[in-house]
Amino acid sequence: MKKSIVYEIMETKSSMYLSQFRLWLCFIITTLVSLSSSTRWYDDHISLKEIHAEETFHFPKNFLFGTASSAYQYEGAYLTDGKTLSNWDVFTNISGKIADGSHGKVAVDHYHRYPGDLDLMEDLGVNSYRLSLSWARILPKGRFGDVNMGGIDHYNRMINDILKTGIEPFVTLTHYDIPQELEYRYGSWLNPQIREDFEHYANICFRHFGDRVKFWSTFNEPNVQVILGYRTGTYPPSRCSKPFGNCSCGDSYIEPLVAAHNIILSHLAAVNLYRTKFQEQQRGQIGIVMNTIWFEPISDSLADRLAADRAQAFYLTWFLDPVVFGRYPREMREILGDDLPEFTKDDLKSSKNALDFIGINQYTSRYAKDCLHSVCEPGKGGSRAEGFVYANALKDGLRLGEPVGMEEMLMYATERYKNITLYVTENGFGENNTGVLLNDYQRVKFMSNYLDALKRAMRKGADVRGYFAWSLLDNFEWISGYTIRFGMYHVDFSTQERTPRLSASWYKNFIFQHRALSKDDWCLKQKEDTNFFLI
Ligand code: NOJ
């Protein structure tokens, strides 16, 4: 009898010691991880003190850490399983359009190799993957033809595999690429018909994938798409007029406004459809992803400060104000007058708060200089189409430092759009293709500085719920072809071999640390359990 009491006491004590031991072990591991990160390879290059200064900040447990990609830049398989040509397939085929004469016919062959790429993501520890669907794979002839079940089956398999890996798909309906059929038939974004096509496409995607996809964005960077497609003519459909570019046809003043208007109407149609037919049952969120530039006034003068506001109006709020407030920004209305298309009463019905979140692609900042009240050097921008602002990266020969812009941009969106949910849907660093470049400490420095700025914005109250690194892999960088590399994994384009760079280990470690420090993690639970036991 006595013996068993002694045993019980011993057992109780030993489990007490065990719990204390586990707690200490946990503490030691977390400390070692932090210490090891501060004495690693990149120590010479980045100020990890800065990272540690932010350590009191804990990302919420369900914060999305991911990597981002797009169909044309990654998939390849350009005519596989029933897909037909997209506008980018056709555009890259025109000689002289792409820096190295390349195309996305094979790209990084993600169409066939995505299972291996998901393994890489799993190894990084990301919990989300931002990808886009190829419209031409799902509807090769738009609404004028059948749904291509080859495309639907592929994305069904892929979405299931993403989820099986424990990763949340964050899906963009169109990331610059559309079926070429729509260009040939009616001039795509210049024609209001595109809205019907986009709605039809969105309906098919929500119907086939919406039971599993909980994050939708309608467009990726429509501002870039219209500025480069219809003002400078450097992206398809290569339309522009002088002095903005050298195209065989187009009107750089009017067409970007028309294309943007049709994109906004298409976004509204898709959101309205999702909200009325799918959202309640599928319980997802829908938003739009914008390219953002932080415009810093080049001087303290009122003129330059107003110029910075105009720059945002002509770049970002051009798209966001209509879908949140139902009208174009004041600065645009004042300068463009009747050139700006109007919303009808019908359009406006669905146009208030037609966003659950804004996706912020943030890479860069510019100085904004007034060209409305001041004289700007000719040929340096600052036209009426750009809101009479000259935007430049340099001031007195010096570059605007990094990461100026991330915190400011997130706070700007938070204030203007009343604390709307934000996701940083892209941020990353491109390097010229000069060798293998596995030691990409500049990318590490860039991303860690931007993440610090993101944390500062969250501390100030910005409702940021995710961060996606652009990109997991080197890939097809639009008109730069394969000459610029953005990957945390190097890709040998001839063998398709993927090799991790420094940034891959850094991002993995970053995510691990922030998971370990997040509020309701395993260690803290253990601590609570142990405390309970000791009482
Ligand atoms: C933004 C675009 O969405 C993406 O397609 C592009 O590759 C990256 N920026 C890098 O330029």
* Three-class HEC string of 74-105: HCCCCCHHHCCCEHHHHHHCCCCCCCCCCCCC
Q: State the pLDDT at residue 268.
A: 97
| From 221, 255, 386, 408, active-site residue | 221
Model pLDDT, residue 35: 39
* Known binding-site residue numbers for a beta-D-glucoside: 73, 175, 220-221, 363, 426, 470, 477-478, 486
- Per residue in 459-500, pLDDT tens? 999 999 999 999 999 999 999 999 999 999 999 999 999 999
* Pocket perturbation via mutation, ligand 1, pick of 362, 476, 477 by most ligand atoms within 8 A of CB: 477
Q: Which residue minimizes the CA distance to atom 7 of ligand 1?
A: 477
Using the predicted structure, report yes or no on whether residue 282 has a pLDDT greater than 90. Answer: yes
Instruction: Indicate which residue's Cα is closest to atom 6 of ligand 1.
Output: 477
Ligand 1, atom 11, lies closest to the CA of 477
Distances (CA, A) of 339 to 191, 258, 273, 369, 390: 16, 9, 29, 24, 21
Q: Beta strands 398-399 and 421-427: pairing type? A: unpaired
Ligand 1 environment, Cβ below 6 A: 70, 73, 220-221, 361, 426, 470, 477, 486
Q: Is there a cis peptide before residue 322, judged by omega within 30 degrees of 0? A: no
Rounded to the nearest whole angstrom, what is the distance from the C-alpha of residue 68 to the centroid of ligand 1? Answer: 9
Res. 165 pLDDT band, cuts 50 70 90: very high
Q: Domain ranges in the chain?
A: 58-532
| Residue 44 clears pLDDT 50, i.e. is over it | no
User: What is the reported pTM?
Assistant: 0.88
Distance 530 CA to ligand 1 centre (A): 48
Active-site annotation holder among 181, 199, 407, 426? 426
To the query of whether residue 426 is one of the catalytic residues in this protein, the response is yes
Ligand 1 atom, smallest distance to 361 CA: 1
Report the nearest atom of ligand 1 relative to the CA of 363.
9
Residue pLDDT, tens place only, 113-134? 999 999 999 999 999 999 999 9
- The pick from 132, 221, 235, 474 for probing ligand 1's pocket by mutation, whose C-beta has the most ligand atoms within 8 angstroms, reads 221
Which whole number is the average pLDDT over 432-437? 76
- pLDDT in the model for residue 469: 98
Q: Residue 13: its pLDDT value, please?
A: 46
Per-residue CA distances from 217 to 139, 173, 187, 206, 214 (Å) = 18, 6, 23, 11, 10
- Whether 221 is catalytic: yes
* Amino acid at the residue 307: A
Residue that the structure tokens 């639970």 belong to: 525
The mean pLDDT of the chain is 89
- Expressed in angstroms and rounded, the spacing between residue 358 Cα and the centre of ligand 1 is 16
Average pLDDT on 17-29 reads 50
pLDDT tens track for 349-374:
877 789 999 999 999 999 999 999 99
Distances (CA, A) of 448 to 46, 99, 231, 453, 480: 8, 30, 34, 9, 25
The whole-angstrom separation of Cα 135 and Cα 219 is: 12
Query: Closest residue (by CA) to atom 5 of ligand 1?
Result: 70
User: Which CATH topology does 58-532 take?
Assistant: TIM Barrel (3.20.20)
* Predicted pLDDT at 352: 77
Angle between helices 255-273 and 194-209 (to 10 degrees): 30
User: Does position 38 have pLDDT exceeding 50, yes or no?
Assistant: no
List, in sequence order, every residue forming a beta bridge with 368; answer none if it has no partner: 297, 391
Please give the distance, rounded to the nearest whole angstrom, from the Cα atom of residue 314 to the centre of ligand 1.
20
